């Protein structure tokens, strides 16, 4: 949050389509999400079969959806 309010210049350099600051935000969000699922939702302590049943569909489908939408989307109106 602090990084978002005081925006240091060097973090605003563009890399892979957005700024480094945004990449930092997204990475931190994924870390936060990871902790929420593993600890708060107890998945760390579940059996391996259940972990796979939860992670595999989401980790395949969601990045795939994101990839398609952002790629095909960049061809819209161009």
Partner 1 sequence: MGARYGKLMMWFFLLSDALTFSGFLTAYGLMRFKYESTWPIAENVFTHFPGLEGDQPLLYVALMTFILIMSSVTMVLAVNAGEKMNRGAVTNWMLWTIVGGFIFVGSQAWEWYHFIMGDSGAVETARQEILHVYNAEGERLSFSQIVHGMEEGHASNHGETFTKTEVLSSMKGDASLYLKEPGKAGRAFTHAESVAFLEAGDVVQGANMIHNEYGRKQFANFFFFITGFHGFHVFSGVVINFVIFYNVLLGTYERRGHYRMVEKVGLYWHFVDLVWVFVFTFFYLV
Give the residues across from 18 on adjacent strands.
15
Smallest distance, partner 1 to C-beta of residue 15, A: 14
- Is residue 38 a contact residue for partner 1 (CB under 8 A)? no
Dihedral sign for Cα 44, 46, 52, 58, please.
Answer: negative
Residue 33 CA from chain centroid, whole number:
9
How far apart, in whole angstroms, are the C-alpha atoms of residue 37 and residue 44? 8
Q: Tell me which of 11, 29, 44, 59 binds partner 1, using CB under 8 A.
A: 29
Residues that bind partner 1 (CB under 8 A): 1, 4-5, 17-18, 22, 25-26, 29, 32-33, 36-37, 39-42, 46-47, 49-50, 53-54, 57-58, 61-62, 65-66, 69-70, 73-74, 76-77
């Amino acid at each position: 949050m602090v990084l978002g309010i005081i925006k240091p210049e060097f973090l605003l350099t563009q890399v892979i389509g957005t700024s480094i600051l945004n990449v930092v935000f997204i990475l931190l969000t994924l870390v936060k999400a990871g902790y929420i699922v593993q600890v708060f939702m107890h998945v760390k302590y579940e059996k391996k079969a259940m972990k796979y049943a939860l992670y595999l569909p989401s980790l395949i489908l969601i990045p795939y959806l994101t990839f398609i939408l952002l790629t095909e989307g960049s061809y819209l109106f161009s």
